């Protein structure tokens, strides 16, 4: 029996898919290279913007052909779109046999049994069930043997007015420190060198269980074989001095942070309910630079939030100029049903969003070109993750930049020192030293 999983969305969804693969392999399934060979197809969905929603339905249209060759094949939809749409999704696409949200992933084995017996197997709940921690008993199946994601919390307690996540993933639930450390120990004994702690608002980890995120950093770093630690996504409001201090003190924590600011205008930030001003965001950046020598930054930005004026947008560009991010993930505002921003007055026409977006991309392209140049001639530490054509090693620097260099297969999984010869916005050509 074979499975095929198609994943949309953020790293959390990718890590959920790795866990689902682990569950399916525990049940005796193997991964199919192509969906046409599969006995079960699952689409792990994202509904953060409108575009990923549409993609799910076009994939379902294609995958339903599987049932013509293999009438017993099962098709499932899970993740955020499943949670948001519920039964409406099955009504719209009756080819779906199994549907569950991120609250119910641990129920997949029962759902498969129900679907095999000919029923529509649906597990969508309003709130997370008490036994959702059963999920952590299953292994993950990863493509990268050296770097692994570890989900440390579910849900989000913020209420950003544009965002569906609190609805689709529920309130914040921090995973216990013991459960996280156990997974990290298992991963490193399996050869993993770098762990990437994941949560929608990872800097708030622990607030619901009387703990602080810095403690998690210190404790993960105590595990001998862990060589590098990263985390995503930080929220500026919860990023406090304790976290900055821990990042500086724990040598295993990489000098990089993804810290979305979303907008530069205080008026827009207020409408978004982000809980900070532009000035406060920039102060957090200064604090991080003070505690963490050489730290680099990446961010997320939303362009064209309702009522955004030219002056507001200029404030966003100003943050880009001041911080000089290594990378910016920019999104045109997409009104999501059941969020406050969906029905706000002053929706910005798509043409204006597109035009502002292209100006933002142009500015960021220039900044990234200059940032890239500043790496030339420097020494960097790279964890080698893969090899191409037998001698091209590929890895990431501590500052989260891709680097390639000549070398042999014996370097895979090793942390090496390199000199940067040429540097481009998304890649650097280096030499081993």
Q: Does 302 bind ligand SAM (CB under 6 A)?
A: yes
Order of strands across the sheet that contains 296-303:
256-258, 296-303, 327-332
CA of residue 298 relative to chain centroid, distance: 13
CB of 302 to ligand SAM, least distance (A): 5
Stretch that binds ligand SF4, among 105-113, 158-166, 182-190, 411-419 (CB under 6 A): 158-166
C-alpha to C-alpha distances, 427 to 138, 303, 362, nearest whole angstrom: 35, 26, 18
166 binds, among ligand SF4, ligand SAM, none (CB under 5 to 8 A by kind): ligand SF4
264 is an interface residue for ligand SAM by CB under 6 A: no
Per CB under 6 A, the list member of 233, 296, 316, 397 interacting with ligand SAM is 233
Residue 201 as a binder of ligand SAM (CB under 6 A): the answer is yes
300 binds ligand SAM (CB under 6 A): yes
Indicate whether 334 belongs to the interface with ligand SAM (CB under 6 A). yes
Name the phi and psi angles at 119, rounded to 5: -95, 160
- Identify the bridge partners of residue 427 per DSSP, sorted by sequence position: 424
Rg (CA), the chain: 22
* Contacting residue, 89, 156, 254, 393, with ligand SF4 by CB under 6 A: 156
Closer by beta carbon to ligand SAM, 262 or else 298: 262
Which CB atom, from 236 or from 425, has the smaller least distance to ligand SF4?
Answer: 236
Residues 92 to 151: which contact ligand SAM by CB under 6 A?
A: none
Residue 84 contacts residue 168 (beta carbons within 8 Å): yes
Residues in 45-74 that interact with ligand SAM by CB under 6 A: 48-49
Taking phi first (over 0 means left), then psi (-120 to 50 degrees means alpha), and beta for anything else, what does residue 5 get? beta
Contacts (Cβ under 8 Å, ≥6 apart) of 29: 1, 2, 3, 39, 40
Closest to ligand SAM by CB, 52 vs 395, is 52
The answer for residues whose C-beta is within 8 angstroms of residue 315's C-beta and 6 or more apart is 263, 264, 265, 266, 268, 278
Q: Is 162 in the site for ligand SAM (CB under 6 A)?
A: yes
Cα separation, 102 vs 250, whole angstroms: 32
Closest separation in Å from C-beta 295 to ligand SF4: 21
Nearest distance from C-beta of residue 259 to ligand SF4, angstroms: 12
Residues 163-182 that bind ligand SF4 (CB under 6 A): 163, 165-166
Q: Which is nearer to ligand SAM, 260 or 264 (CB)?
A: 260
CA–CA dist 137, 262 (Å, integer): 36
For position 360 contacting ligand SF4 by CB under 6 A, the verdict is: no
Return the closest-CA partner of residue 156 out of 202, 99, 198, 218: 202
> Of 102 and 380, which has the nearer Cβ to ligand SF4?
102
| Candidate residues 6, 120, 158, 419; the one interacting with ligand SF4 per rule CB under 6 A | 158
The tokens for 3 are 């499975």
DSSP type of residue 318 = H
235 makes contact with ligand SF4 (CB under 6 A) = yes
With respect to ligand SAM, which residue has the nearer C-beta, 108 or 204?
Answer: 204
The answer to whether the beta carbons of residues 234 and 261 sit under 8 Å apart is: no
Pairwise CA distance, residues 77 & 60, whole Å: 9
Residue 163: DSSP 8-state:
-
Residues of this chain that bind ligand SF4 (CB under 6 A): 156, 158, 160, 163, 165-166, 200-201, 235
Residues of this chain that bind ligand SAM (CB under 6 A): 10, 48-49, 162-163, 165, 200-201, 233, 235, 260, 262, 300, 302, 331, 333-334, 336
């Amino acid at each position: 029996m074979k499975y095929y999983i198609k994943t949309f969305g953020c790293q959390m969804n990718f890590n959920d898919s790795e866990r689902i693969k682990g569950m399916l392999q525990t049940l005796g399934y193997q991964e199919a290279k192509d969906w046409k060979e599969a006995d079960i197809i699952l689409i792990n969905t994202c509904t953060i913007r409108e575009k990923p929603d549409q993609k799910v339905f076009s994939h379902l249209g294609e995958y339903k052909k599987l049932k013509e060759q293999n009438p017993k094949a099962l098709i499932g939809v899970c993740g955020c779109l499943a949670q948001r749409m519920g039964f409406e999704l099955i009504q719209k696409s009756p080819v779906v046999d199994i549907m569950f949200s991120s609250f119910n992933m641990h129920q997949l084995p029962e759902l498969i049994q129900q679907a095999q017996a000919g029923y529509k197997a649906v597990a969508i709940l309003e709130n997370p069930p008490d036994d959702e921690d059963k999920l952590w008993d299953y292994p993950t199946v990863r493509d990268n043997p050296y770097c692994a994601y570890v989900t440390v919390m579910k849900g989000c307690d913020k209420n950003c007015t544009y965002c569906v996540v609190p609805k689709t993933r529920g309130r914040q639930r921090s995973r216990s420190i013991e459960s996280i450390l156990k997974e990290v120990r298992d991963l490193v004994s399996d050869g993993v060198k770098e762990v990437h702690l994941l949560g929608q608002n990872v800097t708030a980890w622990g607030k619901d269980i009387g703990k602080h995120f810095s403690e998690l950093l210190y404790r993960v770093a105590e595990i001998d074989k862990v060589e590098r630690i990263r985390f995503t996504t930080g929220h500026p409001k919860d990023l406090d001095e304790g976290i900055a201090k821990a990042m500086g003190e724990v040598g295993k924590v990489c000098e990089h942070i993804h810290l979305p600011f979303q907008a530069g205008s205080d008026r827009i930030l207020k409408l978004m309910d982000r809980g900070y001003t532009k000035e406060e965001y920039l102060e957090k950046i200064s604090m991080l630079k003070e505690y963490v020598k050489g730290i680099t930054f990446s961010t997320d930005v939303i362009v064209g939030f309702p009522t955004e004026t030219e002056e507001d947008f200029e404030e966003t560009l100003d943050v880009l100029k001041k911080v000089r991010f290594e990378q910016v993930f920019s999104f045109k505002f997409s009104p999501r049903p059941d969020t406050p921003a969906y029905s706000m007055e002053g929706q910005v026409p798509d043409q204006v969003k597109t035009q502002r977006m292209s100006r933002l991309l142009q500015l960021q392209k220039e900044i990234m070109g200059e940032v890239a140049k500043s790496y030339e001639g420097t020494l960097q530490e790279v964890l080698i993750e893969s090899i191409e054509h037998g001698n091209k090693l590929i890895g990431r620097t501590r500052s989260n930049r891709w680097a390639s260099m000549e070398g042999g297969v014996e370097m895979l999984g090793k942390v090496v020192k390199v000199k940067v010869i040429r540097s481009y916005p998304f890649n650097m050509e280096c030499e081993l030293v």
